[in-house]
Chains A and B, each alone.
Chain A
């Protein structure tokens, strides 16, 4: 890689000292941030890897020792592999369903809003964005109250004669609620993104399809969707990676419950499971081993996303 310096005016007459200063000048701008990230982001990641190979935690807080890959082996053997597999499956299912439902719902709403004849559509859009504008901690805890035992939702279904499922005590209903609330919280972002993408499709394309005799469904599935794909695919993948790690929704709603084993509950996703292992049981070494596993899973999806969005080409 050759160092390319921008040709500066009067370059030849400059003294060597000035040239040297020009050469190091850019580093002055990046040094504080890069140094900070090395210390506060990169080093903790490496340190997580290190702790994952120690017995740091309950009983070994002050002095802990190196145990090699024991924690990683534990994840898959003695520590009950079925717990990990169950949590992992639900994490992926939650992320897939939430991402797809948010994209589908967001796209439908954006499609309906993208109507020139609807003069009041900006009002609707503002109202529809509200779930995005409320801090997650507030809305999720409110939903916890609404769906809790003898809460509003329980009572409403009771009055409608559907029975009182006690949403958070039943593994199935707890998962349904998590998915519904995940949709509620996530669709505004997708709707906003899709609306932007829809508005960038030129009306001429639509008119051409119409002249060729396409009906509304054909126009949507044959013209609009393919045109949206390039703009929205990176967003879908980054939303998926975000949902794999969506600690707030699960922890604020259910704390991972209802419990299905000593360590995990029916709605636990990997981050909440690790948080509980560390916070409640103080199994720090094991928690870090799980952390490393999560790093690898999410890192994998992030790199796919960067590849697709052309981030790597931007580096050159």
Chain B
């Protein structure tokens, strides 16, 4: 599938690009634009740009390459005298699975992130549809309420969450954590989803009504399938955001069995595991690599999704 070029994040609907033009643009990746002779100043500008960009890439990605090296290095500490590892061992990866709660943390993170992702998509898809398609009493106040909630950083309520979860007996449970983390992202994602539905033509549903579909059928059979790309974008971004969540989680979770990846990894170097950098590196790589690949492979799709749902400026 050809993804539309990334538009400005502000542009609500990308301009339709003829298919032929899109394919031509896609092909450019594999073909040197060199059939057109460059002027000397253009060539200088091109090579200066290249050198700057490559230098930036080397400097910025070096720290992460260094972490990969550290994960296969013997001992406990970062190898501070050499840039490349001086020995090779997979011991740290083995220890990670046999001696730490790493698998439990990953499992808990997958439970929390997936639950919040699915619930966010379900809540937002229904709410955004009503706000986009119906005019009803209180609609304006509903949207104002969304903006109001969005204004305040939800995580700063963490002390209130602590008290309230203790009162209803959900303190130090994954269910309680999911409950309090779910709320924060709803308003922003509702706007994103509403913007996306706004961009779908109303004729689609009207054609369905003419064919005898009920309102619910038009929603489930026509609108929902069309919003699948937006659902995927929201799901992925929620997953990413929650995967690194630490503030609320560390405050509400105390039992190591309930640690998420972020809390467990933090403990690796700051609490009981005391500066075990080599094992940390192994954990960091296994914990980050799958997400990084998903993100990079879907980057065009993610950016286009954000652009299509964004509030029009």
Give the interface of A toward B (CB within 8 A). 1, 3-6, 9, 23, 25-27, 29-30, 32-34, 36-37, 40-45, 47-48, 51, 56, 109, 112-113, 115-119, 122, 124, 126-139, 141-146, 150-152, 154-155, 184, 192-193, 195-197, 199-200, 230-231, 234-235, 245, 247-248, 251-252, 255, 271, 274-275, 278-279, 284, 287-288, 291, 294-295, 298-299, 302-303, 306, 308-312, 314-316
Contacts and interface: CB of A to CB of B under 8 A. Distances in A.
9 contacts: A3-B135, A32-B127, A45-B160, A126-B299, A134-B291, A137-B246, A274-B156, A278-B159, A315-B147
Nearest to A49: B160
Nearest to A46: B160
Interface of B: 5-11, 28-29, 31-34, 38, 42, 45-46, 49-50, 52-54, 56-57, 60-61, 63-64, 66-67, 78, 80-81, 83, 123-124, 126-127, 129-131, 134-137, 139-140, 142-164, 179-180, 182-184, 186-187, 190-191, 209, 215, 240, 243-244, 246-247, 250-251, 261-262, 265-266, 268-270, 277, 280-281, 284, 287-288, 291-292, 295-296, 299, 303, 307, 311-313
B186 A33 contact: yes
B244 A303 contact: no
Contacts of B164: 43-44, 47
A117 B42 contact: yes
| Listed residue (B10, B277, B312) with the most chain A CB atoms within 10 angstroms of its CB | B10
Contacts, number: 304
A144 B280 CA distance: 12
Contacts of B38: 117
A193 B9 contact: yes
B247 A275 contact: yes
Nearest to A32: B123
A33 B288 contact: no
Contacts of A144: 269
B244 A40 contact: no
Contacts of A41: 149, 154, 157, 183-184, 186
Contacts of B157: 41, 44-45, 47-48, 291
Given A145-B277, A145-B280, A184-B60, A29 B296 contact: no
Given A33-B123, A303-B151, 6 more contacts: A30-B126, A30-B142, A115-B46, A145-B269, A199-B6, A278-B158
B45 to A, nearest CB: 7
B62 to A, nearest CB: 10
Contacts of A234: 10, 313
Nearest to A277: B159
B244 A36 contact: no
Contacts of B32: 119
Nearest to A300: B151
A135 B162 CA distance: 25
B49 A118 contact: yes
Contact of A196 (B45, B46, B303): B303
A315 B11 contact: no
A1 B140 contact: yes
B49 A30 contact: no
A298 B63 contact: no
A116 B33 contact: yes
A133 B288 CA distance: 9
Contacts of B287: 135, 138
Contacts of B34: 119
B143 A299 contact: no
B291 A133 contact: yes
B63 to A, nearest CB: 6
A33 B268 CA distance: 37
Contacts of B313: 230-231, 234, 308-310
A134 B288 contact: yes
A146 B69 CA distance: 13
Given A56-B163, A122-B29, A124-B57, A271 B247 contact: yes
Chain A CB within 10 Å, residue with most, of B52, B53, B60, B146: B53
B155 A247 contact: yes
B284 A138 contact: yes
B163 to A, nearest CB: 7
B63 A136 contact: no
B33 A119 contact: yes
Contact of B296 (A40, A44, A133, A314): A133
Contacts of A303: 151
B312 to A, nearest CB: 7
Contacts of B80: 150-152, 154-155
A113 B53 contact: yes
Given A30-B130, A41-B154, A316 B244 contact: no
Given A41-B184, A151-B80, A252-B266, A5 B292 contact: no
